[in-house]
Amino acid sequence: MLLDVKGLRKSYPGGDGPVPVLRGVDLSVRGGETLALTGESGSGKSTFLHLVAGLDRADAGSIWLDGEEVADLDDRGRARLRRGTVGIVFQQFNLIPSLDVAGNIAFQARLAGRDDPGRVADLAARLGLEDQMAKYPEDLSGGQQQRVAIARVLAARPKLVLADEPTGNLDEATAERVMEVMTALVAETGAALLVVTHSERLAAGLSRRVHLARGVVS
Ligand SMILES: Nc1ncnc2c1ncn2[C@@H]1O[C@H](COP(=O)(O)OP(=O)(O)OP(=O)(O)O)[C@@H](O)[C@H]1O
């Protein structure tokens, strides 16, 4: 099993004490699987992705990712996990403003020691970014920034790709093309893909569907 989550709990502080968001989430994902994670706004989808990527700590439960317990890792171990094992496409893209598109796409792959200019060029072409390579993030549209964020993660060849509404800023045709590229590329590398989405259409194109409600996944 690539990802094995058990009994995951997370609360945030609230005025009247901690507010539980995740109340015991269980989820197992094999390499090669593509999943849609649905759930109402505020149900905890982003919280879940951040915990799996080691960006935040859970209150209880376990996250086994590629044979390692994420909670047991120190900062260096988490950094290593984010460099090589798991890649996350953030809702807000989080591109590096001082790097051009080519630099942004290659950045994570370089950190992971998987720098491959051919792959960067191929990803850029497949995501329709080939004419934007010398531009900086501030000169891109929202949809272009979103595609750079996707290319950056895929360039590093992580075993698990997490994506938070990765087509939220794209028109339907572009969204469809981007999802095709994402699923094709994870299939090529045997990776798994977990996509947060509100789109029925997008969810229908993936191999499994899970729903987060009342703090649990079903
Ligand atoms: N850092 C934080 N501090 C306090 N509360 C938080 C924090 N992050 C998230 N929350 C709360 O936790 C709940 C879940 O938030 P989360 O962003 O995980 O939901 P989501 O399902 O991803 O929502 P959306 O679909 O709108 O992006 C929300 O009620 C949110 O207000």
- Does the pLDDT at position 112 exceed 90? no
The pLDDT score that the predictor gives to residue 126 is: 94
Cα–Cα distance for residue pair 9/79, rounded to 1 Å: 22
Q: Whose CA is nearest to atom 4 of ligand 1?
A: 12
Phi then psi dihedrals of residue 2, to 5 deg: -75, -45
Cα–Cα distance for residue pair 56/117, rounded to 1 Å: 32
Structural domain includes residue 5: no
Best CA proximity match to 109, nearest among 98, 121, 92, 97: 121
Structural domain includes residue 139: yes
Alpha helical stretches, state H, the chain: 45-52, 75-80, 101-111, 117-126, 142-155, 172-189, 200-204
Predicted structure pTM score: 0.95
Q: What stretch of H or E contains 192? A: strand 192-196
Q: What is the domain count for the chain?
A: 1
The pLDDT score that the predictor gives to residue 119 is: 92
Angle at the Cα of 138 from the Cα atoms of 120 and 160, rounded to 5 degrees: 40
Q: Residue 191: give its domain's CATH number.
A: 3.40.50.300
ipTM of the shown complex = 0.97
Ligand 1 center from residue 116 Cα (angstroms):
36
Phi then psi dihedrals of residue 93, to 5 deg: 70, -45
Cα–Cα distance for residue pair 25/7, rounded to 1 Å: 5
Query: Which residues does ligand 1 sit against, CB inside 6 Å?
Result: 12, 21, 39, 41-47
Structural domain includes residue 21: no
Cα–Cα distance for residue pair 40/212, rounded to 1 Å: 8
**Residue 196 near residue 46 (C-beta atoms within 8 A):** yes
- Does the pLDDT at position 168 exceed 90? no
Domain that holds residue 105: 32-57+72-217
The pLDDT score that the predictor gives to residue 147 is: 95
Ligand 1 center from residue 44 Cα (angstroms):
5
Ligand 1 center from residue 134 Cα (angstroms):
35
Ligand 1 center from residue 5 Cα (angstroms):
19
For the chain, what percent of residues have pLDDT higher than 90? 83
- Does the pLDDT at position 153 exceed 90? yes
Structural domain includes residue 92: yes
Burial of 202 (0-12, 13-18, 19+ CB in 10 A): buried
- Does the pLDDT at position 200 exceed 90? no
The number of beta carbons lying within 10 Å of the beta carbon of residue 199 is 17
Cα–Cα distance for residue pair 124/57, rounded to 1 Å: 34
31: tokens are 């390499």
pLDDT digits (tens, 9 = 90+) for 5-33: 999 999 999 999 999 999 999 999 999 99
> How does strand 216-217 pair with strand 208-213?
antiparallel
119: tokens are 């792959």
Structural domain includes residue 171: yes
**Residue 63 near residue 51 (C-beta atoms within 8 A):** yes
